[in-house]
């Protein structure tokens, strides 16, 4: 796919693949996902450095904050997933869209509140206040995310449509995510104006609120969307049934192998941005503009070729593309052990971004296939329970990434108040940013090879799901 066809797609003149959804419908279906991007980007990418460098909390505290936060995330995900699965549709209220509209304001308010911890507070007070705010945000975010994922998988039943929506979602999500990442790269790296951080981040959160309004106001639900959707119904032995359903998922080879890959390789590679901030600030010693360019230029390049990635996933299968993504990942992360200039950093992160987008786009199809596979085997669709169980293990284990990184840089002597770090601290940042993802990537390659959903099986599940729910006379999105 060339650039001309890419822009045709953006204008709606090029339909990515034949099927039941038009480009306009795919665009409407894509919007609610990126709407939740900004808050997540701020929390996972900007907040740690903001609290270490501006609020002044000890780096070890932030590592444990994120660890406990992710434990809470893991605990509530299965419970809230089951809640969403069993939440009844009502004609005047709806189901998934209603839950998204209720939780969006909670996420906005709690994210805004995180900006106002005071440097004069004791570390333990900052610790408790931020943790409470993160708990509130995550509860709302989990309900929103599970509801959106469930809505998305019903409205886009085929592998091809899901990949198409993900490509659109990536364009919009990166445009919005840029607003969240420009704050730390411009204002928290080098000699950026720290005084502008809170006003700028407040403005970004305001844009996020507008995006939620635009994304959710046009979504509609009909009972016909769920008329062919077999979901678990409340029973007297509800808890026992949830345990039985969970055991069926947990013992499957599909779930276990993909989970092991995610908690090792994907988790370590995905936790790249916080180390990136420290790397650009103290290893490369770049300005805020240079750090922003090292983030933006690779992102733009990958977005240009993203439709090609989507086409290759359709052609060769998701598993093959994830395996291939290891090549640029190895080049990018290994180079972080040696590079010294901003220009070199651009090339390093170009390879890292390419790997992340290859595996991330393929993951949309894989996640859908796993849920379709379980439905085909059990006769019941359990999107919320599946996502909750996956998060229970994946989030808990991958949350260790923040502890690993913060403890490594603390052990090697990182000083948040120092303008120039010691050689030992610089080495610690290189190890946390480059060596750790490489080692965990090697470990995660083994379960990836054993993952049983290949191209043929993926296509079978896509056809199964489309045959079950495709109804061209009743569009899901208007």
Please provide the DSSP assignment of 403-428 as one string.
HHHHHHHHHTT--TT-SS--HHHHHH
CATH code at 450? 1.20.1250.20
- Domain hosting 116: range is 22-469
- Residue 180 pLDDT: 62
Which helix (H) or strand (E) segment is 314 a member of? Answer: helix 288-316
Nearest Cα neighbor of 108 from 154, 43, 172 is: 43
- Residue 476 — φ and ψ, nearest 5°? -80, -30
Q: Burial, 123: exposed, middle or buried (Cβ in 10 Å; 0-12, 13-18, 19+)?
A: middle
Ordered alpha helix ranges (H), 156-190: 159-187
Does residue 28 lie within any of the structural domains?
yes
pLDDT of residue 1: 37
Digitized pLDDT (tens) for each residue of the chain, 478 residues in all: 344 444 444 444 334 444 577 888 888 888 888 888 777 777 776 777 778 777 888 877 777 887 787 777 767 777 787 788 778 877 778 888 899 999 999 999 998 898 888 888 888 888 899 889 988 998 998 899 888 888 888 787 788 888 888 888 888 877 776 666 666 666 666 555 556 777 878 888 888 898 889 888 877 776 655 554 544 444 445 556 667 777 778 888 998 999 899 888 988 888 888 899 889 989 999 887 888 888 889 988 888 888 889 899 989 999 999 999 999 999 999 999 999 999 999 999 999 999 998 998 898 889 888 888 888 887 777 777 777 777 667 666 666 777 788 889 989 998 877 878 899 999 999 999 999 999 999 999 999 999 999 999 988 888 887 776 554 434 444 4
Evaluate whether residue 210 is within a structural domain.
yes
Instruction: Examine residue 477 and state whether it is found in any structural domain, yes or no.
Output: no
Q: What share of the chain is helix, strand, coil (3-state, %, to 5)?
A: 80, 0, 20
Spatial contact of 81 and 246, defined as CB atoms under 8 Å apart? no
Q: Which residues contact 60 (CB under 8 A, 6 or more apart)?
A: 406, 407, 410
| 10 falls within a domain | no
pLDDT of residue 236: 47
Return the number of other C-beta atoms located less than 10 Å from residue 452's C-beta.
12
> What b/e string do you get for 127-145 counting C-beta neighbours within 10 Å, with b at 16 or more?
bebbeebbbbbbbbbbbbb
pLDDT recorded at residue 21: 77
Q: Which residue has the tokens 């992160």?
A: 349
pLDDT at 40: 76
The pLDDT score that the predictor gives to residue 63 is: 74
**Angle at which helices 123-155 and 96-113 pack, to 10 degrees?**
160
Q: Per the domain annotation, does 3 fall within a domain?
A: no
Structure tokens at 181: 């990442």
The verdict on residue 254 lying in a domain is: yes
Helix (H, G, I), strand (E, B) or coil at 89: coil
Give me the number of domains the chain comprises.
Answer: 1
Asked whether residue 6 is domain-assigned, the answer is no
**Residue 446: what pLDDT?**
94
Chain centre distance of CA 199 = 25
**Beta-carbon count within 10 A of 427 CB:** 17
Q: How far is CA 272 from CA 37, 180, 400, 430, in A?
A: 16, 15, 13, 12
The pLDDT of residue 152 is 83
Please report whether residue 12 resides in a domain: no
Could you give the C-alpha distances from 141 to 40, 105, 149, 452, in angstroms and in order? 9, 10, 12, 31
């Amino acid at each position: 796919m060339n650039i001309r066809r890419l822009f045709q797609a953006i204008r709606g003149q090029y339909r990515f693949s034949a099927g039941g959804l038009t480009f306009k419908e795919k665009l409407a279906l894509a919007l609610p996902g990126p709407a939740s991007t900004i808050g997540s980007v701020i929390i996972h990418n900007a907040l740690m450095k903001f609290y270490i460098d501006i609020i002044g909390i000890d780096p070890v505290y932030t590592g444990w904050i994120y660890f406990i936060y992710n434990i809470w995330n893991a605990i509530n995900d299965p419970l809230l997933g089951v809640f969403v699965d069993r939440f009844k549709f009502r004609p005047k209220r709806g189901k998934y869209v209603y839950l998204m509209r209720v939780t969006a304001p909670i996420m906005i308010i709690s994210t805004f509140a995180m900006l106002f911890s005071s440097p004069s507070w004791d570390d333990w007070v900052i610790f408790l206040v931020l943790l409470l705010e993160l708990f509130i945000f995550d509860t709302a975010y989990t309900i929103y995310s599970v509801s959106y994922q469930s809505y998305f998988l019903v409205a886009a039943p085929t592998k091809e449509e899901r990949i198409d929506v993900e490509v659109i979602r990536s364009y919009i999500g990166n445009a919005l995510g840029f607003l969240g990442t420009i704050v730390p790269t411009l204002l928290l790296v080098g000699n950026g104006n720290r005084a502008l951080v809170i006003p700028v981040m407040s403005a970004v959160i305001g844009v996020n609120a507008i995006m939620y309004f635009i994304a959710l106001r046009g979504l509609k639900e009909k009972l016909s969307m769920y008329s062919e959707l077999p979901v678990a119904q409340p029973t007297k032995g509800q808890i026992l049934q949830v345990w039985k359903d969970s055991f069926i998922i947990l013992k499957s080879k599909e779930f276990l192998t993909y989970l092991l890959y995610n908690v090792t390789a994907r988790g370590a590679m995905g936790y790249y941005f916080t180390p990136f901030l420290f790397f650009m600030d103290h290893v490369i010693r770049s300005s805020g503009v240079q750090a922003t360019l090292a983030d933006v230029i690779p992102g733009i390049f990958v977005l240009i070729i993203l439709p090609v990635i989507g086409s290759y996933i359709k052609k060769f299968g998701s598993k093959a593309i994830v395996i291939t993504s290891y090549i640029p990942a190895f080049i990018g992360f290994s180079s972080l052990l040696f590079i010294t200039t901003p220009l070199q950093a651009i090339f390093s992160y170009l390879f890292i971004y390419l790997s992340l987008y290859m595996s991330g786009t393929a993951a949309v199809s894989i996640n859908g296939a796993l849920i379709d596979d379980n439905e085909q085997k059990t006769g019941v669709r359990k999107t919320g329970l599946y996502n909750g169980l996956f998060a229970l293990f994946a989030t808990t284990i991958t949350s260790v990434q923040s502890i690993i990184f913060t403890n490594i840089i603390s052990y090697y002597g990182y000083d948040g108040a120092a303008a120039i770090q010691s050689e030992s601290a610089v080495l610690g940042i290189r190890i946390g940013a480059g060596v750790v993802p490489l080692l965990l990537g090697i470990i995660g390659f083994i379960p990836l090879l054993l993952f049983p959903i290949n191209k043929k099986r993926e296509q079978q599940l896509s056809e199964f799901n489309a045959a079950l729910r495709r109804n061209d006379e009743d569009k899901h999105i208007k």
